[in-house]
Amino acid sequence: MDEVERSLEYQVDNGIRYGGQMVITPVVEESSDTLVVLGGCVDGSEVVLIDDGEERAPDGVDQHPVIPMRAVLANDGSGWRVNENALDEDASC
């Protein structure tokens, strides 16, 4: 969580925003009463990075506009929580 907060603070401090649309196509790879593993693809080809008013594609999107995702959700009895959420930015779907 600290890494996410630092990243968001950096973006605010440096006038960085994102626009456009991201399309997520999840697929259930595994499930039980207490665990769900989602795979699938994230299409970021319509996402733009806005840095000081200038728009451009985020780094790496030109090489891999549609990338694999993986999310692991678990229920310990108090509700569902995301235990893992990863994007493979160096691969393509």
Closest to 24 measured CA to CA, from 47, 50, 44 = 44
Signed CA dihedral, 14, 12, 71, 63: sign only: negative
Q: Which domain holds residue 43?
A: 1-87
Residue 41: per-residue pLDDT: 97
What does each of the 93 residues of the chain score in pLDDT, given as a tens digit?
578 789 889 989 988 999 999 999 999 999 999 999 999 999 999 999 998 888 998 888 888 999 999 999 999 999 999 999 999 999 999
In a domain, 93, yes or no: no
Give the length of the chain: 93
Q: Please, which contacts does 78-83 make with residues 24 or more away whose CB atoms are closer than 8 Å?
A: 80/36
In a domain, 71, yes or no: yes
**pTM (two decimals):** 0.75
In a domain, 13, yes or no: yes
In a domain, 92, yes or no: no
Question: Which residues lie below 8 Å from residue 9, measured CB to CB, with a gap of 6+?
Answer: none
What's the total number of domains in the chain?
Answer: 1
Residue 1: per-residue pLDDT: 57
In a domain, 21, yes or no: yes
CATH of the domain at 59: 3.10.450
The Cα 62–Cα 58 span in angstroms is: 8
Six-digit token pair at 2?
């600290």
